[in-house]
């Protein structure tokens, strides 16, 4: 992949680690952002993500949550590649829910 590769960056916030990744990716790819801002703005996010997936070659989602599900679903529908970065509760060791 190179600067000609179009990447849709999907995120729920702009924490320092997410912003750092975004800055790095912008140096190497043509990047657009779909920012998930919660259920009250879901329709806006769905439209933004759909347009972004149609434009992009690949989606890059931070955290495995509803926003990543939407990006991966649209990516699969249009045969685009998708990447999901996991971190936080989706990889936490919680004994009460059967964590190893």
Over the stretch 53-67, which tens digit does the pLDDT of each residue have?
999 999 999 998 999
In a domain, 17, yes or no: yes
Q: How far apart are CA 48 and CA 31, in angstroms?
A: 14
Question: Does any domain span residue 89?
Answer: yes
SS3 sequence of 59-95: EEEECCCHHHHHHHHHHHHCCCEEEEECCCHHHCCCH
Please indicate, yes or no, if residue 44 is contained in any of the structural domains.
yes
Residue 65: partners with Cβ closer than 8 Å, 6 or more residues away: 12, 36, 90
Residue 75: both structure tokens together: 């990516």
Domain around 88: 6-97
What phi and psi values does residue 6 have, to the nearest 5 degrees?
Answer: -95, 125
pTM of the model: 0.85
> Is there a domain that residue 1 lies in?
no
How confident is the model over 30-46, as a mean pLDDT?
Answer: 95
Q: What is the CATH number of the domain that holds 47?
A: 3.40.50.2000
C-alpha span between 64 and 87 (Å, rounded): 8
Q: How many domains does the chain have?
A: 1
pLDDT of 87 reads: 78
């Amino acid at each position: 992949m190179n600067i000609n590769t179009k990447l849709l960056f999907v995120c729920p916030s702009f924490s320092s680690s997410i912003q750092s990744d975004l800055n790095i990716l912008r140096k190497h790819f043509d990047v657009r952002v779909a920012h998930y801002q919660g259920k009250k703005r879901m329709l806006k996010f769905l439209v933004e993500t759909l347009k972004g997936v149609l434009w992009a070659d690949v989606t890059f989602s931070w955290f495995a949550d509803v926003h990543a599900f939407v990006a991966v679903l649209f990516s699969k529908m249009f045969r685009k590649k998708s990447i999901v970065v996991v971190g936080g509760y989706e990889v936490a060791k919680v004994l009460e829910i059967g964590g190893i």
